[in-house]
Homo-oligomer: A and B are copies of this chain.
Amino acid sequence: MGRPAKFTHSQLQAAALALVDREGLAGLSMRALAGELGTGAMTLYNYVSQREDIDLLVVEAVIGEARWPLAGYAQWQDEVRAIATALWQAVRAHPHAIPLILTRRSRSPAVFEVTEALLRALARSGRSGPALLVAFRAVSGLITGLAQSELAGPLALQAEESAELTIARFRALPAERFAHLIDIANAAAGSTADGEFRASLDLLLAGLSADRGGER
């Protein structure tokens, strides 16, 4: 409850995110962050109670970067698309932070704000209660799930290898046993993450538009 003076919350946040962007997740230690701030490791414990709080600072910083036009959407689908895309782009701008965004519970204001905004847009489809919950689960699941599939799915690029090499690896699989895997690996060679995101989101929006969430 006492409020320390040497650093602000957003100074810690910015330093932690800068460290992750620069050095990767493995570089984010209490000692390294303290060094980034020009102090000793133990000083950080005046601001956070445990190491995991540092991860939450990073998540908050990334999600907090999402920006989208607040009004002027003729259709709720356009508004959902705008918010989802803003989140997607904020996450993709900090690839090293993705594992944290996937695994850390954040209850920061920035996360609440964007969640409520997405819900508001989805509610324009006529949904509330359980149907709104499901729509939200599906859309937010798709956003993080697509970030995940790029990071760690079977088609994810190896950290140190080119896209060509990853695809070549698939082409080397037994052709008839993994015919479809080889097919989509080839397709992936000619597609972009943004394009795949947009198309996947459109599939889900088609489903959300077809079933307007009638009462149940």
Which chain B residues border A105 with CB–CB below 8 Å? 151-153, 156, 158
Are B103 and A99 in contact (CB-based, < 8 A)? yes
Are B152 and A104 in contact (CB-based, < 8 A)? yes
Which chain B residues border A211 with CB–CB below 8 Å? 203, 206
Q: A122's closest neighbor in chain B, by CB?
A: B180
**A144→B102 CA distance, assembly (Å):** 10
A39 interface residue (CB < 8 Å to B): no
Q: A130-B191, A145-B148, A203-B134 are in contact. Are A154 and B210 (CB under 8 A)?
A: no
**A164→B12 CA distance, assembly (Å):** 32
Are A145 and B140 in contact (CB-based, < 8 A)? yes
**A173→B202 CA distance, assembly (Å):** 32
Which chain B residues border A120 with CB–CB below 8 Å? 180
**A106→B137 CA distance, assembly (Å):** 25
Which chain B residues border A151 with CB–CB below 8 Å? 103, 105
Interface residues of A (CB under 8 A from B): 98-99, 102-107, 111-112, 115-116, 119-120, 122-123, 128-130, 132-138, 140-146, 148-149, 151-154, 156, 158, 169, 173, 177-181, 183-184, 186-188, 190-191, 196, 199-200, 202-208, 210-211
